[in-house]
Amino acid sequence: MGKLLKYLKNYRLQAVLAPLFKLLEACFELFVPIIVAAIIDTGVKEGAGVSYIVYACLILLALGVVGLIAAVAAQYFAARAAVGFSQELRHDLFSRLQSLSYSQIDALGTPKMITRMTSDVNQIQSGVNLVLRLFMRSPFIVFGAMIMAFIIDVYAGAVFAISIAVLCVIVFGIMLVSIPLYKKSQGKLDSVTVTTRETLTGARVLRAFCKENEEIKEFNSRNDSLKKSQLFVGRISALMNPLTYAVINVAIIILFYVGAVRVEYGILTQGMVVALYNYMSQILVELIKLANLIITVTKSFASAGRIAEILEMRSSLKAGGAEREDGEYIRFENVCANYGDAAVNALDNINFTVQRGQTVGIIGGTGAGKTTLVNLIPHFYDVCSGKILIGGVNVNSIGDEALRGRCGVVPQRAVLFEGTIRQNMQWGKADATDEEILSAIETAQAADVVASKDLGLDEMVEQGGKNFSGGQRQRLTIARALVKKPEILILDDSASALDYATDAKLRSALKRLDYNPTVFIVSQRTSSIRHADKIIVLDGGKMVGIGTHDELLNTCDLYREIHYSQFAKEGA
């Protein structure tokens, strides 16, 4: 938690004023029992009269009003500090997640990242708010009441001191036990989030295979595990209130006994005993608040540890020295790549060169490493050995922002974002004109998509592009990549939903682009890549063939098998 306190630096004033106003409120509260004692002993017992009692009551009223103002001010400043803290924390957390490599994001998983951004940050915000309001007030009231008790009577003060010592043991003992349990419980929340997200994402698939009941059972199992974990730690935390009440009530009984004896001997007055009882009651109220604070802070510490783990992460992408070579525009030299600690490389010993402006087709079976290969070019993943050079410079040394600014990537899954078509097209180039956008849309064979919409480029796109078909989304994502006029265009199986005629028109239009990009086309169809300048055939992460379409039909068994499985041999 201490590592996250830096996010309060812009709210230091509020973070100081909140507890100060709470201390001011507490000071006024500590004077109340003394005034009540004076009313009993002086106003009633000694017969000082109604005027004295009214005067004392007006003082109590004034203390209450000032205390209320101080409490409201404290609440305001604490809320400002806590909300500002969570805003900056969430901003940095999101920035950190954006800076991580694909490998780290894959390892963390979407559900965990969502939980960190929402539940964990909210938990810490609640903790900060309560700490600013109660962390100084509650101990101040507790120990202030004890000091006031010692001032009134030493024997009564001893009862307070022993009670507070026992209560501290209870409170901090429960806190130490519950902190790791809350952390474990929060981890099970991740599991529930994973199940929920997978179910919602794959709802159509689940219904198609009639797997609803199995998923319900799986969700209930994980939900029950979370419930049991939360109930277990909740029961431990719930012990705090009854134990606190028990200790305080025993202390009150002892206090009344000691007070009665001291009154009998004339050492204390009835007003003093009432004041001592009020102080003990204040301690009870504050310890209940402190117990709730401890529970919230315990959860906050668990959440803070989980968030700190991500904030301490640094991108695993490596930076290397610049290397200059003449000739090839893109060169893979003995490249190997894997995911995490996988025993087998996803790519193994890949070597090829590409000249600027060439079109490269990449084909192979499922899991052959096609997507992995093209993801290495914009440095989404690191190679585990070998090197990739673009324009003679190692991709590690170009800088990710500069490198990706030169690349246009169309991933396998066509993703559009909520907004207008124009706003989606301007992702690659924020100042793109309508003419540039329409030109890219024309190249991507999506002109009919825009023309069919009443508002044209101003047509709204729903989240994920759900109001467009799969083929329309693919063409629009290709257009989005073309708007920026990239030097390197990567189409990762991004025409799979297009018919053969549209696919052919798209490839023809790409050939006519005046800025002559280097194009990588990942496809399962040989028809999409047969006219490429170079075709790379992958199998199990290894390059088993490279050449033109005609060359591979003669030299590569796998390519020949793929091609003839899609086209009759007579029409090859």
φ, ψ for residue 220 (rounded to 5)?
-60, -35
Span 314-328, average pLDDT: 58
What residues form DSSP beta bridges with 388?
A: 332
In the predicted structure, residue 10 carries a pLDDT above the cut 80: yes
**Could you give the domains of the chain?**
2-192+233-311 (1.20.1560.10), 317-406+489-572 (3.40.50.300), 410-485 (3.40.50.300)
Average pLDDT over residues 421-439: 90
Q: Which residues contact 126 (CB under 8 A, 6 or more apart)?
A: 82, 296, 300
pLDDT tens, position by position, 343-369: 788 899 999 999 998 999 999 988 888
User: pLDDT tens digits, residue range 387-426?
Assistant: 899 988 888 888 888 888 889 999 888 888 989 999 999 9
Confidence grade of residue 164 (pLDDT, cut at 50, 70, 90) = confident
What pLDDT, on the 0 to 100 scale, is given for residue 324? Answer: 46
- The reported pTM is 0.68
| Among candidate residues 71, 43, 74, 75, the one with its CA nearest the CA of residue 59 | 43
Percent share of the chain, pLDDT over 70: 96
Cβ atoms within 10 Å of 147's Cβ, excluding its own: 15
**Longest CA pairwise span in the chain (Å):** 121
Residues constituting the chain: 572
Confidence check: pLDDT of 479 > 90:
yes
| pLDDT for position 490 | 93
For residue 275, give the DSSP letter.
Answer: H
Segment 135-158 mean pLDDT: 84
- Assign 119 a pLDDT band (cuts: 50, 70, 90): confident
- β-partners of residue 364 are 538
Distance, CA of 479 to CA of 446 (rounded, Å): 8
